[in-house]
Amino acid sequence: MKKKRTIGLKYLLTAILLACQCANVMGGIYLNACYASEIPEENVEDEEDEGSANIDVTDIDLGDYQKVMKVGGNQLLFVTPIPINATNQTINYSSSNESIATINGLGRITAVSEGYTTISVVCGSVIRSFQLSVEKEKVITASEIDMGDYKAEMTEGDKQNIYASIFPSNASNLTIIYSSSNTKVATINSMGRITALKTGTTIISAKCSGASTSFELIVKEKIKAKEIDLGDFQEKMKVKDKQMLGATVIPTNAVDQTITYSSSNDYVATVNSLGRITALSVGTAIITVKCGVAEKSFVLTIKEEDIKYVTDIELGNYEKEIYIDKTQTLSATALPATAENGAIKYSSSDPSIATVLSNGEIKGISKGKVIISIKAGDVTKEIEITVKASTKKIELNSTYLVLKKGDTIKLNAKAMPMDAEQEITYRAVDASIADVTPEGKIIAEDVGNTFIIVSNGDISKAVTVIVNKVGTVSREADIVEIINDDEVAYADLSDKDKELILGMKYHDELLVEAREYKLVSKEILKKLLETSSKLTIKGENYSMTVNGSEIINFENKLETNIELIKKANGLSFVLNNGNNLPCSVAVSFEGEAIEGRFVYLYNEKKEKYQLLETNNIKNMVLDEAGEYLLTIEKISKFKLSIVLLMIAGGVAAIIGIIFILMKKKYWFY
Domain limits of the chain?
59-135, 144-220, 227-303, 312-388, 393-468, 495-631
Share of the chain above pLDDT 70, in %: 85
395-432 pLDDT tens trace: 888 888 888 888 999 998 988 888 788 889 999 999 99
Please say whether the dihedral angle defined by the alpha carbons of residues 72, 73, 74 and 77, taken in this order, is positive or negative. negative
Instruction: Compute the distance between CA of residue 165 and CA of residue 143 in angstroms, rounded to an integer.
Output: 11
**557/1: higher pLDDT:** 557
pLDDT of residue 185: 94
Task: Provide the mean pLDDT of the chain.
Answer: 83
Alpha helices in 127-187 (DSSP H): none
Instruction: Compute the distance between CA of residue 524 and CA of residue 497 in angstroms, rounded to an integer.
Output: 7
pLDDT average, residue stretch 522-534: 89
Domains 312-388 and 393-468 share a fold: yes
pLDDT of residue 152: 94
pLDDT of residue 458: 77
The dotted CATH code for 312-388 is 2.60.40.1080
DSSP sequence for 573-627: EEEGGGPPPSS-EEEEE-STT---SEEEEEETTTTEEEEE--S-TTEEEE-S-EE
pLDDT of residue 307: 76
Give the range with max mean pLDDT: 166-175, 191-200, 449-458: 191-200
Instruction: Compute the distance between CA of residue 394 and CA of residue 452 in angstroms, rounded to an integer.
Output: 13
2.60.40.1080, 3.30.565.10, 3.40.50.1360, 2.40.37.10: CATH of 144-220: 2.60.40.1080
**513-527, 577-591, 602-616, range with the lowest pLDDT:** 602-616
pLDDT bucket at 636, cuts 50 / 70 / 90: low
By the 10 Å C-beta count (0-12 exposed, 13-18 middle, 19+ buried), 383 is classed as: middle
Residue 89 is which amino acid? Answer: Q
pLDDT average, residue stretch 486-500: 66
pLDDT average, residue stretch 494-500: 78
**25/268: higher pLDDT:** 268
**649/261: higher pLDDT:** 261
pLDDT of residue 660: 67
The dotted CATH code for 227-303 is 2.60.40.1080
pLDDT of residue 593: 63
pLDDT of residue 664: 54
Check whether 519 has a pLDDT greater than 70: yes
195-207 pLDDT tens trace: 999 999 999 999 9
pLDDT bucket at 570, cuts 50 / 70 / 90: confident
Q: Provide the CATH topology of domain 59-135.
A: Immunoglobulin-like (2.60.40)
Range 495-501, long-range pairs (CB < 8 A, 24+ positions): 497/521, 497/523, 497/524, 500/524, 500/535, 501/527
**511/69: higher pLDDT:** 69
CATH class of the domain comprising 393-468: mainly beta
